[in-house]
């Protein structure tokens, strides 16, 4: 079975790394492939002229740069999502606080209305009591001067 020359296997690893959605893992895989190619070349009896270390380093550097850019974009997206989430939480908390304040205000208004109704009822009872007391006293005084008034029988 014939194996690919180290240069082609390194190039394939670098291309695979560049196409990978996980650039950091791909960069590590490409570095491992380059190390394997260099080891294979050394095992075959020296330096393989088809493997250009500066080319491999440049390709790996490009993959690492792309991985860093992807990581920065992911970090920016995560920061934006965190800011949006914080805004949602802040909005939720302020709405809950407003609702609680409205409920407290409604309860206070209801208590005030109940107290006013109770006071009005007490005042009405006192007025009724005073009124009937005045009527009784007036009746007593009027009968004292005029005597009892004859009542007509009802048929």
Q: Which of 54, 50, 56 is nearest to 32 (CA)?
A: 56
Residue 7 confidence (pLDDT) above 50: no
Reduce the secondary structure of 86-136 to three states and give it as a string. Answer: HHHHHHHHHHHHHHHHHHHHHHHHHHHHHHHHHHHHHHHHHHHHHHHHHHH
Q: What is the pLDDT of residues 87-140, one digit of tens each?
A: 999 999 999 999 999 999 999 999 999 999 999 999 999 888 888 888 887 777
Q: What is the pLDDT of residues 8-66, one digit of tens each?
A: 555 565 566 556 556 566 666 666 666 666 666 666 655 545 556 666 666 667 777 88
pTM for the complete prediction? 0.42
Q: Which of 9, 11, 20, 34 is nearest to 67 (CA)?
A: 20
Residue 78 confidence (pLDDT) above 90: yes
Banded pLDDT at 1 (limits 50, 70, 90): very low
Residue 85 confidence (pLDDT) above 70: yes
Q: How far apart are CA 3 and CA 41, in angstroms?
A: 12
Domain extent listing, the chain: 6-144
Tokens 């270390």 belong to residue? 53
Q: What b-and-e string marks burial along 55-72, b requiring 16 or more CB atoms within 10 Å of the CB?
A: ebeebbeebbebbeeeee
């Amino acid at each position: 079975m014939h194996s690919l020359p180290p240069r082609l296997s390194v190039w394939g690893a670098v291309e695979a790394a560049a196409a990978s959605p996980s650039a950091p893992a791909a960069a590590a895989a490409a570095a491992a492939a380059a190390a394997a190619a260099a080891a294979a070349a050394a095992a075959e009896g020296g330096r393989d002229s088809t493997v250009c270390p500066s080319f491999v380093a440049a390709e790996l550097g490009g993959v690492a740069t792309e991985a860093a850019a992807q990581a920065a974009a992911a970090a920016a997206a995560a920061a934006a999502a965190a800011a949006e989430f914080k805004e949602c939480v802040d909005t939720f908390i302020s709405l809950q606080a407003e609702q609680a304040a409205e409920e407290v205000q409604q309860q206070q208004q209801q208590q005030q209305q109940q107290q006013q109704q109770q006071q009005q009822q007490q005042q009405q009872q006192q007025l009724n009591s005073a009124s009937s007391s005045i009527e009784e006293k007036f009746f007593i005084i009027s009968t004292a001067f005029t005597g009892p008034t004859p009542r007509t029988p009802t048929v």
